[in-house]
Structure 1
Amino acid sequence: MREKMQVGEMRLIQTDLIDILNPRERNKKVFDDIVMNINTIGLKKPITVTPRLGKDGTERYLLICGEGRLKAFRSLGEKIIPALVVEVSDENALIMSLSENIARRQYRPLELLAGIEQLRDQGYDPKTIAKKTGLCGDYVNGILTLLNKGEERLLVAVEKGRIPLNAALAIVGAGDDDKAVQTALQEAYETGKLRGKQLIQARRVIERRHTLGRSIACGTPRKLEDVTTISLVRVYQKEVQRQKQIVKKAEIVQQQLLFVVGALRELFADENFTTLLRAEGLDTLPKYLAERVWPNGHPK
């Protein structure tokens, strides 16, 4: 159970006495905006820290929230920063830091997922994680399920809004059988879980998941030493199979088009039928079809 945090005290603290408890990477543009704003109008909100003794016995501080503001101060050469000092344990300092990062309106998907995973590793159940972070309980349960399955590719797709969480869970529930996965996609579409572009996005994610694996290695390129002749042959074979499927689909579509063109030629050869179409104002065709039905691209 989380301890009750004491009311904080405002202090001016040396920036070099503050240690970052839960460091994270930042988008350069976002960080530059923070620096510019602080340089222009000053610090609008103090950072939050908790006091700790350093190795030499001197007082230092652990940063709980405000990493961007602290780094901005340091980059501007500022030696002192306003801070709210609170008394909390190491565990609760970490929890507060993670919760603060997760609760931000803008975050990188993998940061959110890593935060939920860290809270889980700290021993918190989904209900408690949801309460601490302000996230929906069903959402946390779903995310933890994907995390436990190692489904990084699906997780990022969910966090970027490409596919809904319930559809991702349906895909995972289908296992590794391609037919079962396609069936899960079809059911998700029929039940309204996947609509429009989301269905296309889901197919792309599944294809990459099948070809490249469930993990995305935190977005970093695959190391050269991980590439073997066997893996290259396997990827090549999968690509050949994919190309064959595309060719097969193209042939089917071509046959269907030839059938449609032949049927239209027979119909338009019937004078009674064309007279009826003209009366209804339906005697024209799209250019692509017209060029194939009539030699000159239009009826005589």
Structure 2
Amino acid sequence: MTKAIKKQALGRGLSALLKDPENDITSVEDKNADKVVGNIIELEISAIEINPFQPRSNFNEESLRELATSIKELGVIQPITVRKLDFNKYQLISGERRLRASTLVGLTTVPAYIRIANDNESLVMALVENIQRHDLDPIEIALSYQRLIDEIQLTQEQMSERVGKKRSTIANYLRLLKLDPIIQTGIRDGFISMGHGRAIINIEDLDIQTDIYQKIVSQNLSVRETETLVKNYHESLKPKPEGEEKPKSASSFVVKETQKNTFNDYFGAKVDVKVAGNGKGKITIPFNSEADFNRIIKLING
């Protein structure tokens, strides 16, 4: 008999123990608790409820089907983790993909580790386990860190110790939550990367953020090109040193007074001539009455 078969048989035996009302285990001090806590036990999927603290909100359907195929052929290699809520009632702490895939292939039981934990401990375990083990997108990871701050009052330093990540790494994820919601969705959907987001976050104006985001998507800009775009934006905001005039466009020119007088003499009116920096401009010819307007028309028509 292989080790895996022995474990499975042991798990089924412990599962029967948990279904005995006279041996209901609610704390680590209860009789037979040492046989349950920390051991792999075959639990009925119907007795497991999804963890409301689960940070993952998106599940790739193709990836889920691939996992289901693997489970159908090899079984659930890595047990899920649950906490005991009541008699024969459990709540998932980690392993929702494995649980979903097991359900897809029609399994009625799944191997599980049983923990006895309060809500806060469950939240911490779920968030930390998911951050470490699963391919959460950057925004989901950032939201997980934020929940640890808001609901468990962990500092970034404490989170660094719990999840094994540098404090600077955690700070970079948290900064993504300052992005416009449209951009956060773009990161979650894979339109732009976390690197793009880290570049955009250096701009406080949300409207400018979204303008740059649209350019990244429409022009397929790289992270380096995005960083340059953001740098140029900040450069444009810097005040010009006193006495420094904005260089005129090479296509611009100055209309001389004698040239203006030529218009004035020809039309018999004070003609206004304006030239923009790009060399384009307009000529405004005033008139005093309908008769004066018709006079000017005749001059133009020759």
The equivalent position to 1:199 in structure 2, one of 176, 199, 224, is: 224
Residue in 2 aligned with 1:12? 42
Q: How far apart, in 2, do the equivalents of 1:85 and 1:177 lie?
A: 49
Q: How far apart, in 1, do the equivalents of 2:225 and 2:182 lie?
A: 15
* TM-score with structure 2 setting the length: 0.51
Q: Could you tell me whether the CA contact under 8 Å between 1:162 and 1:201 is conserved in 2?
A: no
* TM-score with structure 1 setting the length: 0.51
Residue in 2 aligned with 1:265? none
Shift of 1:134: 2.3
1:176-203 per-position Cα deviation (integer Å, ceiling 9, x unaligned) = 797xx99xxxxxxxxxxxxx93232347
Q: Could you tell me whether the CA contact under 8 Å between 1:162 and 1:202 is conserved in 2?
A: no
Shift of 1:85: 0.8
Q: Could you tell me whether the CA contact under 8 Å between 2:132 and 2:163 is conserved in 1?
A: yes
Residue in 2 aligned with 1:26? 59
1:54-113 per-position Cα deviation (integer Å, ceiling 9, x unaligned) = xxxx33111111111111111222111111112222111111111111113522233212
Q: How far apart, in 2, do the equivalents of 1:138 and 1:72 lie?
A: 35
**Which ranges of 4 or more aligned residues in structure 1 deviate by more than 6 Å?**
203-206
Q: Could you tell me whether the CA contact under 8 Å between 1:49 and 1:84 is conserved in 2?
A: yes
Q: Could you tell me whether the CA contact under 8 Å between 1:10 and 1:83 is conserved in 2?
A: yes
SS of 2:133's equivalent?
coil
Shift of 1:39: 0.6
AA partner of residue 129 (structure 2) = E
Could you say if the C-alpha distance between residues 160 and 146 of structure 1 is closer, same or farther in structure 2, counting changes exceeding 3 Å?
Answer: closer
Residue in 2 aligned with 1:214? none
Alignment RMSD, CA only?
Answer: 3.6
Question: How many percent of aligned residue pairs carry the same amino acid?
Answer: 24
Q: How far apart, in 1, do the equivalents of 2:141 and 2:72 lie?
A: 29
Q: Which is further off, 130-139 or 40-49? A: 130-139
Could you say if the C-alpha distance between residues 37 and 139 of structure 1 is closer, same or farther in structure 2, counting changes exceeding 3 Å?
Answer: same
Q: How far apart, in 2, do the equivalents of 1:177 and 1:43 lie?
A: 48
Shift of 1:16: 0.7
Residue in 1 aligned with 2:203? 171
Structure 2 residue 80 is matched with structure 1 residue 47: yes
1:34-64 per-position Cα deviation (integer Å, ceiling 9, x unaligned) = 10100111111111111012xxxx3311111
Could you say if the C-alpha distance between residues 168 and 144 of structure 1 is closer, same or farther in structure 2, counting changes exceeding 3 Å?
Answer: same
Residue in 1 aligned with 2:240? none
Q: Which is further off, 109-118 or 35-44? A: 109-118
AA partner of residue 198 (structure 1) = V
Shift of 1:154: 6.0
Residue in 2 aligned with 1:124? 154
Could you say if the C-alpha distance between residues 112 and 94 of structure 1 is closer, same or farther in structure 2, counting changes exceeding 3 Å?
Answer: same
Could you say if the C-alpha distance between residues 205 and 26 of structure 1 is closer, same or farther in structure 2, counting changes exceeding 3 Å?
Answer: farther
The equivalent position to 1:98 in structure 2, one of 127, 146, 149, is: 127
- Gaps (5+ residues) in structure 2? 1-27, 29-33, 213-220, 232-248, 252-302
1:240-269 per-position Cα deviation (integer Å, ceiling 9, x unaligned) = xxxxxxxxxxxx89x8xxxxxxxxxxxxxx
Structure 2 residue 152 is matched with structure 1 residue 115: no
Could you say if the C-alpha distance between residues 102 and 74 of structure 1 is closer, same or farther in structure 2, counting changes exceeding 3 Å?
Answer: same
Structure 2 residue 102 is matched with structure 1 residue 70: no
Could you say if the C-alpha distance between residues 30 and 177 of structure 1 is closer, same or farther in structure 2, counting changes exceeding 3 Å?
Answer: closer
Could you say if the C-alpha distance between residues 176 and 113 of structure 1 is closer, same or farther in structure 2, counting changes exceeding 3 Å?
Answer: closer
Q: How far apart, in 1, do the equivalents of 2:230 and 2:196 lie?
A: 9
Q: How far apart, in 1, do the equivalents of 2:182 and 2:160 lie?
A: 22
Shift of 1:205: 8.8
AA partner of residue 160 (structure 2) = A
